[in-house]
């Protein structure tokens, strides 16, 4: 998985506002200020699920997460989209949501993701 530093400034100010996690090949564009590979085994704690309420064409839903072992990313909100490049990151089965096991595996803790 890759983590991208993203500016939300209309003029692409060189200040990270949010981090976005994606599978490879990742994302690009003038709003992307950095890109790093997350180490295998990185812990991801789901903070909340955000549903887009005004997305005309669908999509826009995302998960807000914390990376408790990587303080470098703690200063800004970190999100993961429900799907990316036609690949589901979040799976919904029987009214429950879970992270795609081909991308994530559960840890042993209470807050396993």
49: DSSP letter: E
Question: What span, in angstroms and rounded, lies between the C-alpha atoms of 5 and 32?
Answer: 6
pLDDT computed for residue 31 by the predictor = 97
Does residue 37 sit within a domain?
yes
What is the chain's alpha carbon radius of gyration, rounded to the nearest angstrom? 14
Contact in structure between 2 and 21 (CB atoms under 8 Å):
yes
pTM of the model: 0.82
Does residue 104 sit within a domain?
no
The residue range of the domain holding 32 is 2-99
Contact in structure between 48 and 25 (CB atoms under 8 Å):
no
Number of domains into which the chain is organized:
1
Does residue 113 sit within a domain?
no
Per-residue pLDDT of the chain (113 residues; tens, 9 = 90+): 999 999 999 999 999 999 999 999 999 999 999 999 999 889 999 898 887 788 777 677 888 999 999 999 999 999 998 888 888 888 777 767 778 888 888 776 554 44
Does residue 78 sit within a domain?
yes
* Residue entry with tokens 């029987």: 94
Does residue 79 sit within a domain?
yes
Does residue 31 sit within a domain?
yes
Does residue 111 sit within a domain?
no
């Amino acid at each position: 998985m890759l983590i991208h530093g993203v500016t939300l400034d209309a003029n692409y100010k060189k200040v990270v506002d949010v981090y976005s996690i994606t599978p490879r090949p990742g994302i690009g564009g003038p709003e992307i200020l950095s890109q790093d590979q997350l180490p295998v085994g990185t812990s991801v704690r789901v903070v909340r699920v955000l549903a887009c309420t005004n997305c005309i064409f669908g999509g826009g839903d995302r998960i807000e997460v914390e990376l408790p072992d990587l303080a470098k990313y703690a200063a800004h909100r970190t999100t993961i989209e429900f799907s990316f490049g036609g690949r589901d990151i979040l799976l919904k089965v029987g009214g429950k949501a879970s992270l795609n096991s081909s991308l994530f595996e559960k840890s042993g803790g209470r807050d396993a993701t």
